[in-house]
A = this chain, B = another copy of it.
Amino acid sequence: IDAQDKRKTASMLQDFHPADIVEVYEELNLEEAQFVFILLEPMRAADVIVELEEDDRERLLENVPGDILARKFIDRMDSDDAADIIAELPDDVKADVLSNIADREHAGDIADLLNYDEDTAGGLMAKELITVNENWTVATCLREMRGQAQDIDEIYFVYVIDNDGILKGTLSLKKLLLTKSDQVADVYDKDVISVSVDASAEEVANIMNKYDLVALPVIDGIGRLKGRITIDDVVDVIREEAERDYQMASGISSDVEASDNVWQLLRARLPWLMIGMIGGVFGAKVIELYEGQLSLYPEMAFFIPLIAAMGGNVGIQSSAIIVQGLASNSLGIESNFKKLMKELGVAMLNGLSLAAILLLYNFIDSDSLALTVTVSSALLVVIIFASVFGTFVPLGLNKLKIDPALATGPFITTVNDIMGLLLYFLIGHVFYGFWG
């Protein structure tokens, strides 16, 4: 982009949706990005800032003075987006920005929102609301709504409050269009699902998902309406939740992406690999215990990887089913005993089929009856152990209020590896005693 193209670039970008500008944006270096940014009209620039990834935004806004940030951009954002962005700024810039927001009511809303933890309903909500009083007439209502709507992008919901600001219900635009009554009290819907400011983001996501809500009002301890959360903010929570469980199961901590740099990726991966390696060292110790047996019957070493891998695979399956069930609240109401019985049933069937196939294979392929019987018996026992362990560790962690996803991935694989080896050599010891 050279200087002569300025006009062209500017007029081109005016027709783009902010989300598309963000995509163009990510391909530019900092200098080009700042250049593009200057060309955007402030409203669009504010939208682009909101859509940018946190890293990109920090880099871009680093050298922008607080008063310009406040007047040009923050003033034009919804309170929830503005609060998220201000929360990322260094403390001195934060105060500077807040004091330079022209609309003092907006500044007050943002300052309020900064008090909430970002993973709570308070941290997710926006203060932009259309509210009407339950004692108003329909005509007053429409007039007031017109006034309030000036500041708000789009009206999806109108909330009804009483004189103390307590949430009483919702007013449907449809009913407002159709009504013949002239009192709001006759028209509004008193069944309203709301959430407390300190509910967790996960609870908010579960409630909105369960009741198929597009927006959810947020109330304080005494029921006063404080803000509303819209589904688009929660979609990210839901997606991140599901992705995080997958990442934990894959041995990746903190929310990394392929586009992060080498150090971020390393920090997220190395600790889990360390756990795996320590497990491997324990595994080595287990095998060392049976060194005598191994030098007598070196063919026992052949099936070490098979037994270890199957223990790991089965444990991952079992824990993934439980972790997903806990995350989506779909575990159902089966008692733990029934769950255990079912998991045991699956494990027995898996174990018996695989052990039988392996028995047949070794019967044909191997000369050692002791090895053949050992490998298949160990496989069956390991599958049953790994299933039960993979089911109960996440359930147990969940009961202790520890994130059950921690139990998936390297931890459970490692424990199952070691236990698998122990069981394998123990069983081998017995059977070689008979047939060896």
Contact = CB atoms under 8 A, between A and B. Distances in A.
Contact of A345 (B246, B262, B354): B262
A5 interface: no
Given A235-B235, A321-B257, A154 B174 contact: yes
Nearest to A291: B298
B232 A235 contact: no
A155 B155 CA distance: 10
Contacts of A414: 309
A407 to B, nearest CB: 13
Given A281-B361, A342-B265, A309 B417 contact: yes
A410 B301 CA distance: 22
Contacts of A155: 173-174, 177
A59 interface: no
A145 interface: yes
Interface in A208-224: 208-214
B325 A257 contact: yes
Contacts of A258: 321-322, 324-325, 330-332, 334, 339
A247 B325 CA distance: 12
A309 B306 CA distance: 11
Contacts of A191: 17
A380 to B, nearest CB: 12
Given A142-B177, A284-B302, 20 more contacts: A26-B332, A146-B178, A153-B174, A238-B238, A245-B246, A251-B313, A251-B317, A256-B321, A257-B321, A257-B328, A258-B331, A258-B332, A259-B330, A280-B305, A281-B361, A283-B302, A283-B306, A283-B309, A288-B299, A312-B413
A302 B274 CA distance: 18
A102 interface: no
Interface string A115-153: 000000000000000000000000000100110011011
A370 interface: no
12 contacts: A146-B177, A149-B174, A173-B173, A238-B238, A239-B242, A250-B316, A250-B319, A258-B321, A273-B310, A280-B306, A309-B312, A312-B413
A329 B325 CA distance: 26
A255 to B, nearest CB: 10
A357 interface: yes
Nearest to A175: B149
> What does DSSP make chain A's interface, helix, strand, loop or mixed?
helix
Interface of A: 17, 19, 26-27, 142, 145-146, 149-150, 152-156, 172-174, 177-178, 191, 193, 208-214, 230-232, 234-235, 238-239, 242-243, 245-247, 249-252, 256-259, 261-262, 265-266, 269-270, 272-274, 276-277, 279-281, 283-285, 287-288, 291, 294-295, 298-299, 301-310, 312-314, 316-317, 319-322, 324-325, 328, 330-334, 339, 342, 345-346, 349-350, 353-354, 357-358, 361, 379, 383, 408-410, 413-414, 417, 421
Nearest to A252: B317
Contacts of A232: 212-214, 231
Contacts of A298: 291, 294-295, 298, 301
A288 B358 CA distance: 16
Contact of A324 (B211, B231, B246, B308): B246
A265 B343 CA distance: 9
Contacts of A284: 302-303, 305-306
Contacts of A145: 177
A317 B266 CA distance: 11
A270 B305 contact: no
Given A17-B193, A320-B250, A321-B256, A270 B350 contact: yes
Contacts of A266: 346, 349-350
Given A266-B349, A298-B298, A313 B259 contact: no
A251 B152 contact: no
A163 B371 CA distance: 80
Contact of A313 (B276, B299, B314, B321): B276
